[in-house]
């Protein structure tokens, strides 16, 4: 994969996508990850046009089923679906029958009865997206389940790194912060290991228990060691809402030991990429001068999130046919043009 700086979508080549759902990074092959990234690179061009819309998923319905608060991910999926001309329906717990006592399964079965084509689900419980695949016909996309996985976040992170560094292998990727509660960390560990890069995890011992040493990673409690020679630094949000009790003496001490500052960045490689899945806690996990500095690609991650989610929806809802079968309906080049036809 080394050196692929300008990936393109070859609509006439056999593809590597045969999945009905996107539930996690762990089961994906390296080739499947690259297929998503290649399609996302083609989709990104759509967002740069004057008319940011193509008819690829016209007539499809995408339900956004979010049981946890979300601004960035939910908006990104909604924009992605609309740029492909899919119809979207948003569901939130506070305005639904869940607030009246309806069970999760009953909610899912009622949505199934309305015959959507895809359901994007976020839930506080790990495994919730896997669970509903047993009861519905629609494609399911995991938009974050508990502390398990957040696959599209890892894919957009990979897309950003490939654009900036031109490769995904042979890198040192340091993931810093609240590893214990982070679904982003899990998805990224699996992705970067598959791509052939070295992953370092760093945080307080209470947020980095020994179980993480079973993963294909190197673990350190010293931030300077994690940053030494790093090509990419992923700073994680301190998820205090998931802490039963504070797992370190104080937020101030956390910043002193694990906050990413301009001074500490001197340990990393020149041109290091600074990433954050958001939302950021400035002055707690990252210094504003770093978050807004020249090495930060945080807003590029947000922009690439739309392209990656367009690619995932496209592949799951019919676009894969064009990759697997060049004569399939999705192979019609109109699907990536703004020409809606008759």
Distance CA 290, CA 280 (A): 12
Distance CA 197, CA 331 (A): 34
Nearest alpha-carbon partner for 261 in 220, 289, 282, 234: 289
Instruction: List the catalytic residue out of 35, 73, 88, 220.
Output: 73
Instruction: List the catalytic residue out of 72, 130, 164, 257.
Output: 72
In the residue annotation, 123 being an active-site residue is answered as no
* 36 close to 92: Cβ distance less than 8 angstroms: no
Residues 6 or more apart whose Cβ sits within 8 Å of residue 74: 64, 66, 90, 122, 143
Instruction: List the catalytic residue out of 123, 150, 264, 309.
Output: 150
In the residue annotation, 72 being an active-site residue is answered as yes
* 230 close to 268: Cβ distance less than 8 angstroms: yes
Distance CA 139, CA 316 (A): 7
Instruction: List the catalytic residue out of 44, 122, 167, 276.
Output: 122
* 286 close to 234: Cβ distance less than 8 angstroms: no
In the residue annotation, 100 being an active-site residue is answered as yes
Q: Cα-atom radius of gyration of the chain, to the nearest Å? A: 20
Instruction: List the catalytic residue out of 12, 71, 95, 100.
Output: 100
Residues 6 or more apart whose Cβ sits within 8 Å of residue 2: 167, 169, 170
In the residue annotation, 130 being an active-site residue is answered as no
Q: CA geometry: angle at 138 spanning 133 and 140, to 5°?
A: 55
In the residue annotation, 181 being an active-site residue is answered as no
Catalytic annotation, residues:
72-73, 100, 122, 150
């Amino acid at each position: 994969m080394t050196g692929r700086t300008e990936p393109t979508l070859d609509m006439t080549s056999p593809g590597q996508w045969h999945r009905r759902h996107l539930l996690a990074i762990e089961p994906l092959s390296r080739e499947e990850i690259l297929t998503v990234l290649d399609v996302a690179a083609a989709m990104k061009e759509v967002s740069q046009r004057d008319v940011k819309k193509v008819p690829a998923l016209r007539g499809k319905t995408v339900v956004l089923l979010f049981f946890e608060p979300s601004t960035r991910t939910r908006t990104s999926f909604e924009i992605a679906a609309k740029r492909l001309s899919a119809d979207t329906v948003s569901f939130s717990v506070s305005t639904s029958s869940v607030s009246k006592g309806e069970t999760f399964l009953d909610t899912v079965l009622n949505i199934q009865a309305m015959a959507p084509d895809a359901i994007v689900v976020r839930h506080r419980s790990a495994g919730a997206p896997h669970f509903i695949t047993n009861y519905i016909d629609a494609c399911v996309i995991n938009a974050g389940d508990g502390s398990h996985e957040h696959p599209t976040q890892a894919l957009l992170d990979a897309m950003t790194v490939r654009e900036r560094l031109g490769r995904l292998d042979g890198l040192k990727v340091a993931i810093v912060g609240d590893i214990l509660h982070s679904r982003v960390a899990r998805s990224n560990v699996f992705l970067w290991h598959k791509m052939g890069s070295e992953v370092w995890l760093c945080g307080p011992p209470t947020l980095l228990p020994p179980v993480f040493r079973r993963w294909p990673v190197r673990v350190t409690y010293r931030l300077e060691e994690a940053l030494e020679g790093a090509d990419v630094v992923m700073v994680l949000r301190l998820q205090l809402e998931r802490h039963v009790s504070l797992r370190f003496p104080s937020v101030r001490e956390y910043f002193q030991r694990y906050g990413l500052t301009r001074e500490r960045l001197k340990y990393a490689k020149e041109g290091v990429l600074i990433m954050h899945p958001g939302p950021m806690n400035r002055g707690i996990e990252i210094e504003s001068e770093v978050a807004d500095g020249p090495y930060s690609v945080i807003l590029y991650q947000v922009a690439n999130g739309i392209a990656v989610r367009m690619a995932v929806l496209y592949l799951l809802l019919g676009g894969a046919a064009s990759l697997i079968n060049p004569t399939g309906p999705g192979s019609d080049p109109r699907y990536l043009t703004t020409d809606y036809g008759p």
